[in-house]
Amino acid sequence: MTDEEAREFWRELENKIGEPISIYSMGEYFTGFEEINNPVVGLFFLTETRLFFQTFPRKNWLASISESIRGRKEENEPNTYSLPLNWVRKVELLKPKSFLGRIFASGMTKVSVEYLDEENETCIMQFTLLSKAEDFVKQIELLR
């Protein structure tokens, strides 16, 4: 992806969601949204009012072959999930406490976000970020 393509991607995404994006990072989602059952890699980003997670279409080799044989490609749109920041009650970085835990931990920092959903139930979203984890937590704290 060229720099111009990247800028266009962010412009289109901001137009789609209706707000400027303040920070973003690739990461892996673990828990927090009922619609997502398994860990999945995607893009996390923040606006002034929401925390977003966007997955990207994944295809296995069998699906790709099937599309080639049929002579058509199936359109797969990315899925975007969001959490209003005013629902957030607590956000923290989860760092391994033991010496061995720190040695064997991945390079990605786990983030935990506690929030109240529409039914006033306490939920916890957990994910790791490839970069900018401390900045994400600071911005969520400021904006919630």
**Four-residue CA torsion sign, 118, 119, 120, 126:** negative
Find how far residue 78's CA is from the centre of its chain.
12
Quickly list H helices, 53-110: 61-70, 99-104
Number of C-alpha atoms within 13 angstroms, CB side, residue 95?
A: 7
115, 3 contact by CB (below 8 A):
no
How many domains, in total, are found in the chain?
Answer: 1
Question: Given this model, what pLDDT does residue 98 score?
Answer: 61
Q: Tell me: the pLDDT tens digits for 95-106? A: 766 665 555 655
Range of the domain at 69: 3-143
Min mean pLDDT across 69-78, 106-115, 131-140 is at 69-78
pLDDT band at 93 (very low <50, low <70, confident <90, very high): very high
Instruction: Please determine, for residue 75, whether its predicted confidence score (pLDDT) is greater than 80.
Output: no
* pTM assigned to the model: 0.80
The tokens describing 130, both together, are 């490839």
pLDDT band at 109 (very low <50, low <70, confident <90, very high): confident
Instruction: Please determine, for residue 62, whether its predicted confidence score (pLDDT) is greater than 80.
Output: no
CATH code at position 108: 2.30.29.30
Averaged pLDDT score across all residues of the chain: 85
